[in-house]
Amino acid sequence: MADPHRFFVPADTLASDPVTISGEVLHHLRAVLRLGPGCEVLLLDGLGGCCRARLATVGRNQAVAAVLARWHETERPCPLRLLQALPKGDKFELVLQKGTELGITIFQPVHSGRTLTRAESGRQPRWERIVSEAARQSRRPRLPRLEPVRSLAEALAAVTEPLRLVLWEASARPLVEVLPAEPPVGVALLVGPEGGFAVDEVTAVEAAGFVPAHLGPRILRTETAGLAVTAVLQYLYGDWRQPARHGGEGPGG
């Protein structure tokens, strides 16, 4: 049986039976994929709730689908909050897309002293769409959390993870020396701007409990560094050793 198309929908959408689909998801299944009555879809609430449903009607304003099965899926990636100083242009969109695929659980965009600022108006909804699409394509049952842009001080104050790492090329310790043998309860990873952190910022970051680490002799771009470390953390502590998820997830699959 072919995998049903997957869509993230608001959580309250899945509370009823039949399920009513509207908005952007309706446009995608109707105008882009051209799905009609009888097609099965997999609807996810972004919190682990899953619903396999069969389309009964597909109209201009809404589609109605009968529920076939409901279940809940869990995720076990390395719990990771990425505090990413905003890079210039649209590079943060790459971080969101690939970071979602790699299993980042919280994205925290940061304005630091050397961040090349740009108006953020209207960017948050686009960022959320990128995260949702990346989660859909990579078959994540849960949506990563995308925090609003914060100053460095505000972002540091919101951190709750016990293991706190900051990538800094001037650090005397390589990454391998600061990673614990046992999987941490949570990791906060701070990546600086393209111009690097100012000295006073490094002082504030260390005062917030972040341990500086370097990534060897090569200097990685800001949009590359966090993704590279995320892959390392997933390999060491995350779900990369679990069985792959195949088609037909959930009851009846």
Can you list the domains of the chain with their CATH numbers?
5-72 (2.40.240.20), 80-237 (3.40.1280.10)
pLDDT bucket at 249, cuts 50 / 70 / 90: low
Full-model pTM: 0.89
Q: Coil, strand, or helix at residue 24?
A: helix
- Is residue 84 a contact partner of residue 226, using CB atoms and an 8 Å limit? yes
Q: Sign (positive/negative) of CA torsion 28, 139, 160, 192?
A: negative
Report residue 22: phi and psi, to 5°: -145, -175
pLDDT in tens, 163-217: 999 998 888 899 999 999 999 999 999 999 988 888 889 899 999 999 999 999 9
DSSP 192: -
Residue 62: pLDDT above 60? yes
For the segment 55-80, the average pLDDT, to the nearest whole number, is 94
Mean pLDDT estimate for the chain:
91
Please, which residues bridge with residue 211 across strands?
Answer: 165
Residue 30: pLDDT above 80? yes
Place of tokens 């906060």: 188
Give the residue among 70, 136, 131 at the shortest CA–CA distance from 105. 131
- Is residue 4 a contact partner of residue 40, using CB atoms and an 8 Å limit? yes
Distance CA 111, CA 113 (A): 7
Distance CA 111, CA 117 (A): 8
pLDDT recorded at residue 198: 86
Residue 248: pLDDT above 80? no
